[in-house]
Amino acid sequence: MPTFPRRLSLIAVGLVLTGAAVLTIAPDPSALTDGLIDWVKDETGRELTIAGGLGFSLLPYPALVVEGASLAGAPLIRAARAEVGLQPWALLSGRVEPTRLRLTGVRIA
C-alpha cells in the first residue's frame, strides 16, 4: 500500500477512536451547562444564558459548541454560536482545557 493512503487511513482511524473516547467520557450536557453558567458567573459576575443548548464537535478540532448564548449586563453581549476548542489529550484524561474560542453572530448592545 502506498505511504500517503496508509497515513490517511491511520489518521481517519485515529479520529474515529478519539471521537468514540470523547463521547464515552463526555459529561452529561445539563451538568456541563450548569457548570459553565456557574463558572461564567464566578469569573465575570454576569449571568450567562444558553438558549440553544450545548453540543460537541469533533472536526476540524474537538470543541464544545454553545448555541444562542448571551451575557447579561451593560453591555449586553449575544453570540449566535460559540465554539470552545478543547485539548484532545486532556479530554481523554477527563479534564477540559480550552485552546481557542470562535464566536459567530456576535451582537453588543
Question: Does residue 73 come out as left (phi exceeding 0), alpha (psi in the -120 to 50 range) or beta?
Answer: left
What DSSP assignment string belongs to 36-53?
HHHHHHHHHSS-EEEEEE
The model's pTM is 0.61
Q: How many CA atoms lie within 13 A of 31 on its CB side?
A: 3
Q: pLDDT tens-digit profile of 10-51? A: 666 666 656 655 555 555 666 667 777 787 788 788 888 888
The pLDDT assigned to 105 comes to 92
pLDDT score of 2 more than 90 = no
The pLDDT assigned to 33 comes to 73
Q: How far is it, in rounded angstroms, from Cα 43 to Cα 69?
A: 16
Q: How many CA atoms lie within 13 A of 23 on its CB side?
A: 8
Confidence of residue 73 (pLDDT cuts 50, 70, 90): confident
Q: pLDDT tens-digit profile of 80-90? A: 998 888 777 77
pLDDT score of 94 more than 70 = no
Stated length of the chain? 109
Mean per-residue pLDDT for 66-78? Answer: 85
As a whole number, the mean pLDDT across the chain is: 75
Q: Which of residues 53 and 18 earns the better pLDDT score?
A: 53
